[in-house]
Amino acid sequence: MGNLTGKIAWVTGSGSGIGEAAALALAEDGATVILTGRTREKLENTARRIGNAASAHVQPADLTDKAQVRRVGDYIKATFDRLDILVNNAGVNIVDRHWDKLTPESIEYMVNGNLTAALYCVTVALPFMRAQQDGVIIHTASMAGRFIGGVSGPIYVAAKHGIVAMSHGLNMEECLNGIRSTVFLPGEVATPILDQRPNPVGPEVRAKMVQPADCGDLIRYIANLPKHVVMNEVHLAPTHNRGYVANLQRRL
């Protein structure tokens, strides 16, 4: 039996990338996983990779729609009546991400997809975890949530800074309820979201990046930490950090 046997985990954005890797890792360690994202086909593929039908429950939703978020919460309540782990991972980016191309509509899409949806999911998780006096929430932010740079675009950076603030705020208010919130700030990860960059990089560059499985292993580790400790914030970056390499080359 795995360390997470009997635990219920809700993983958002679990159709690909970090979310898929997290779902696989948590299920491998014994957790029952609710898989949520926009595309049922991708979620069902993740469920097939998990392999055990009892361990993977597909619940598609647009998490920017509060009614759909509540529907998933109702499903968790009716089916399990508990929630031990929330991996708040869903996020988006766009190609036209800089101020010369941004519109009110694209800004709304970015803020809703990267911050509002995560906030909605927390409102579902907290009642379960308060009742249990126990629970772990792991938010996927980004290095862009701690350091301001130009690659990700200003709205992505602003939204991910909001995720960092949200996570620390949760620990400040919910520590007496046994709830622990971790904000995970990965550097470049070889996930499909890279295809939304204005100039996507090729497979040889992606091979040097953090891989989704690396993130899944870290998320599993955080979920297994004892109740009396919280990992407030954690960074994970590639050894071959392209930002560092560029700075070194400028010194030559």
Which element (helix H / strand E) includes 70? helix 66-79
The answer to whether residue 152 sits within a structural domain is yes
Task: Return the CATH number at 176.
Answer: 3.40.50.720
Helix axes 154-174, 104-111, angle to 10 degrees: 30
The answer to whether residue 112 sits within a structural domain is yes
* Cα(137)–Cα(170) distance, integer angstroms: 9
Place of tokens 């998320």: 219
The answer to whether residue 162 sits within a structural domain is yes
Signed CA dihedral, 50, 55, 60, 64: sign only: negative
Q: What residues make up the domain containing 31?
A: 8-251
Condensed to tens digits (0 to 9), the pLDDT of residues 76-105 reads: 999 999 999 999 999 999 999 999 999 999
Mean pLDDT in residue range 115-121? 98
pLDDT of residue 100: 96
Under 8 Å between Cβ of 223 and 48: no
The answer to whether residue 242 sits within a structural domain is yes
The answer to whether residue 226 sits within a structural domain is yes
Question: Given the DSSP bridges, would you call strands 135-140 and 85-88 parallel, antiparallel or unpaired?
Answer: parallel
Q: Would you give the DSSP letter of residue 211?
A: P
The answer to whether residue 157 sits within a structural domain is yes
Of the candidates 5, 21, 3, 28, the one whose C-alpha atom is nearest the C-alpha of residue 140 is 21
How would residue 57 be classed by pLDDT, with cut points 50, 70 and 90? very high
* Cα(50)–Cα(54) distance, integer angstroms: 10
pLDDT of residue 1: 56
pLDDT of residue 196: 67
What are the residue numbers of the active site?
156
Mean pLDDT in residue range 48-69? 95
Per residue in 13-32, is it b (16+ CB within 10 Å) or e — as a string? bbbbbbbbbbbbbbbbbebb
| pLDDT higher at 139 or 200 | 139
Mean pLDDT in residue range 133-150? 95
Domain tally for the chain? 1
Q: 67: which residues sit within 8 A by CB, 6+ positions away?
A: none
* Cα(238)–Cα(123) distance, integer angstroms: 33
116-119: Cβ within 8 A, 24+ apart? 116/64, 117/12, 117/63, 117/64, 117/69, 117/90, 118/12, 118/63, 118/88, 118/90, 118/163, 118/166, 119/166
The answer to whether residue 2 sits within a structural domain is no
The answer to whether residue 244 sits within a structural domain is yes
Cα 12–Cα 231–Cα 141 angle in degrees, nearest 5 = 40
